């Protein structure tokens, strides 16, 4: 299978080439030329498959220029109980009669990004081997907090690859920052940027299209790639866990074969929810996609009105990994839903660049309405949801997952549609322990506590274990202290190399 550009401006490439390049060098994103289907028989048989087997079923359909041995090696190296705290990799927790929390935080960095970033380094290393270039790969990452650490862990000490992560200095949680700046490995660098996530992501995307800078980097012996969800290698592994979730529902007799389920995803860059849409197009029975946002509700308004308008204030929230106004992967979704109309995509994204907004036409809007609903949760609602779920179910959720749960509850109320629903838990609650503790325990005096005390207190209060990736975090040595302005990112890269 070949990969094409959402903007019709590049020749078809193999999967490994799409992964190696990260994004289309002339602008746009790589998408599969057609979406492979899995037969009903294959989907139902997953009930008796391991996560690794399901992973193979999905990846082999998309990554057609990788050998079976390569895929099996990557899967075995990524999805095992050394990296993940459970054999199931992404277990389901039954919250109530029809909603199920898909725990995507059992990996080393405690957020769902691990599901892709544990395997992607193998896929990229194999892609480099196929190409036989003399250049090392330089991975540039813009992060709203979780991708950065997950990518650093995945790519740390991988031969032939150097990774530089840019994060918004004031836009990530204390624990996220600490996780990143304490990363070891001689091929890693971390930079605090004086700006927000969109500033970081725009700069990095701009650098990929900057031919002069590409030459400068080439002279130093490097070529660019991306570990953000603009890279197909980030997205394709995320399709796997939607099949795994359906398989587990079948196995536990929660649903019948062929029964349609809803999917609720706390969304930022639109990568995770897009992966569920690809699963649907591959044959997974899905009724509705519920796109959950925080106060940066640009997607909620898009699904309600058909207008994507990023001209608004950027809000810093207690679900910082979703503080995003430009959801990059919406471009891939619009390309798919318009039946690969690259001219429309090119026009809309030109408008987005020039005017900060675009409006889709009625016909496309109607098609989207059949499948997608957008809603958002306010800061107060997020906290209330964490508290309610904890009090009612004795179950701890992080603020991002709480956005999902809150929006799902609104959906049930508004649509009166009670269908088995999978809600993505995108981070472990300990990753945002200050917010979670203050939400469940009004009496705790968070401001006077150290990060370590907060983790401990949350553990004592809830009777649950601190995520293993977060234990001992406060004792680790700070290794990265680079800081720069948004317009100094290129200089910074040269300085680091």
Of the listed pieces 17-25, 208-216, 262-270, 370-378, which binds ligand PLP according to CB under 6 A? 262-270
Task: Quote the least distance from Cβ 354 to ligand PLP, whole Å.
Answer: 24
Closest CA to 148 of 63, 229, 36: 229
**Could you tell me which stretch among 66-74, 260-268, 279-287, 347-355 binds ligand PLP (CB under 6 A)?**
260-268
Structure tokens at 231: 């890279």
CA distances from 92 to 253, 396, 428, 467 (A): 13, 14, 14, 17
Q: Which residue has the tokens 């196995």?
A: 251
Round to whole Å and give the CA distance between 222 and 480.
22
x/- track of binding to ligand PLP for residues 168-187 (CB under 6 A): --------------------
**Minimal distance, residue 392 CB to ligand PLP, in Å:** 22
Question: Which stretch, 14-22, 34-42, 263-271, 438-446, contacts ligand PLP (CB under 6 A)?
Answer: 263-271
Contacts 24+ apart (CB under 8 A), 304-311: 304/374, 306/359, 306/360, 306/361, 306/362, 306/364, 306/365, 307/357, 307/358, 307/359, 308/348, 308/352, 308/357, 308/358, 308/359, 308/360, 309/356, 309/357, 310/198, 310/352, 310/356, 310/357, 311/356, 311/357
Nearest distance from C-beta of residue 266 to ligand PLP, angstroms: 5
Site for ligand PLP in 112-131 (CB under 6 A): 113
Q: Among 20, 297, 400, 467, which residue sits at the site for ligand PLP (rule: CB under 6 A)?
A: 400
Q: Which of residues 146 and 199 has its CB atom nearest to ligand PLP in the complex?
A: 146
Does residue 270 belong to the site contacting ligand PLP (CB under 6 A)?
Answer: yes
Least separation, in Å, of the C-beta of 267 and ligand PLP? 4
Helix (H) or strand (E) holding 208: helix 197-208
**Residue 278 vs residues 4, 15, 40, 352: alpha-carbon distances, Å:** 16, 16, 16, 24
Site for ligand PLP in 292-321 (CB under 6 A): 321
Judged by beta carbon, residue 13 or residue 422, the one nearer ligand PLP is 422
Secondary structure of residue 167 in the 3-state scheme = strand
Residues 407-436 binding ligand PLP (CB under 6 A) are: 426-427
- What is the maximum span of the chain, computed from C-alpha positions, in angstroms? 60
DSSP assigned state of 361:
-
Q: Which of 22, 107, 271, 374 binds ligand PLP (CB under 6 A)?
A: 271
Q: What does the per-residue mask of binding to ligand PLP show for 342-381, with x meaning CB under 6 A?
A: ----------------------------------------
Which string of x and - marks every residue 127-156 that binds ligand PLP (by CB under 6 A)? -------------------x----------
For residue 91, give both structure tokens: 């277990």
CA dist., res. 234 & res. 413, Å (int): 34
Residue 21: which residues within 8 A CB-CB, separation 6 or more? 13, 30, 225
According to CB under 6 A, which one of 236, 322, 420, 454 is a site residue for ligand PLP?
Answer: 322
Smallest distance from the beta carbon of 97 to ligand PLP, in angstroms?
25
**Selected range binding ligand PLP among 4-12, 68-76, 155-163, 269-277, rule: CB under 6 A:** 269-277
Cβ 187 to ligand PLP shortest distance, Å = 23
- Would you tell me the crossing angle of helices 211-219 and 489-496 to the nearest 10 degrees? 10
How near is the Cβ of 426 to ligand PLP at its closest, in Å? 3
Size of the site for ligand PLP (CB under 6 A): 16
Radius of gyration for the chain, computed over Cα atoms and rounded to the nearest angstrom:
21
Cα–Cα distance for residue pair 240/471, rounded to 1 Å: 28
Q: Least separation, in Å, of the C-beta of 110 and ligand PLP?
A: 9
**111 is an interface residue for ligand PLP by CB under 6 A:** yes
Residue numbers of the site for ligand PLP (CB under 6 A)? 111, 113, 146, 229, 266-272, 321-322, 400, 426-427
């Amino acid at each position: 299978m070949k990969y094409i550009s959402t903007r019709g401006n590049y020749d078809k490439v193999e999967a490994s080439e799409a992964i190696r390049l990260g994004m289309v060098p002339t602008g746009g994103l790589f998408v599969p030329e057609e979406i492979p289907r899995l037969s009903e028989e294959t989907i139902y048989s997953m009930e008796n498959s391991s996560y690794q087997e399901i992973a193979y079923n999905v990846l082999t359909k998309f990554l057609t220029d990788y050998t079976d041995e390569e895929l099996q090696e990557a899967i075995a190296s990524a999805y095992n109980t050394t990296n993940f705290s459970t054999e199931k990799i992404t277990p389901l927790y039954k919250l109530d009669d029809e909603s199920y929390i898909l725990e995507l935080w059992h990996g080393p960095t405690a957020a769902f990004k691990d599901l892709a970033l544990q395997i992607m380094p193998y896929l990229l290393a194999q892609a480099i081997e196929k190409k036989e270039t003399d250049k090392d790969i330089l991975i540039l990452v813009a992060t709203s907090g979780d991708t950065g650490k997950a990518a650093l862990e995945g790519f740390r000490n991988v031969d032939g690859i150097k990774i530089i992560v840019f994060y918004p200095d004031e836009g990530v949680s204390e624990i996220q920052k600490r996780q990143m700046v304490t990363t070891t490995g001689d091929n890693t660098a971390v930079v605090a940027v004086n700006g927000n996530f969109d500033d970081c992501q725009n700069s990095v995307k701009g650098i990929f299209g900057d031919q002069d800078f590409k030459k400068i980097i080439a002279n130093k012996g490097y070529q660019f790639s991306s570990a953000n969800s603009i890279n197909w290698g980030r997205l394709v592994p995320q399709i796997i866990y939607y099949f795994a979730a359906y398989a587990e529902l079948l196995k536990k007799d929660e649903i019948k074969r062929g029964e349609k389920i809803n999917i609720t995803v706390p969304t930022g860059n639109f990568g995770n929810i897009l992966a569920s849409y690809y699963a649907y197009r591959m044959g997974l029975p899905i009724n509705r996609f519920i796109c959950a946002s925080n106060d940066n509700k640009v997607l909620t308004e898009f699904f309600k009105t058909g207008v994507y308008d990023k001209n608004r204030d950027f809000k810093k929230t207690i679900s910082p990994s979703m503080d995003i106004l430009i959801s990059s992967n919406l471009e891939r979704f619009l390309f798919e839903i318009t039946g690969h109309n690259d001219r429309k995509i090119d026009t809309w994204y030109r408008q987005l660049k020039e005017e900060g907004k675009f409006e889709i036409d009625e016909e496309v809007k109607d098609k989207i309405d059949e499948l997608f609903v957008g809603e958002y949760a306010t800061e107060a609602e997020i906290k209330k949801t964490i508290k309610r779920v904890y009090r009612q179910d004795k179950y701890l959720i992080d603020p991002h997952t709480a956005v999902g749960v809150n929006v799902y509850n609104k959906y049930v109320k508004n649509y009166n549609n009670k269908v088995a629903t999978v809600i993505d838990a995108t981070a472990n609650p300990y990753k945002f322990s200050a917010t979670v503790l203050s939400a469940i325990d009004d009496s705790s005096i968070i401001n006077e506590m150290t990060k370590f005390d907060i983790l401990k207190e949350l553990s004592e209060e809830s009777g649950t274990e601190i995520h293993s990736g977060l234990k001992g975090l406060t004792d680790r040595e700070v290794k990265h202290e680079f800081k720069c302005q948004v317009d100094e990112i290129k200089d910074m890269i040269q300085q680091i190399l």
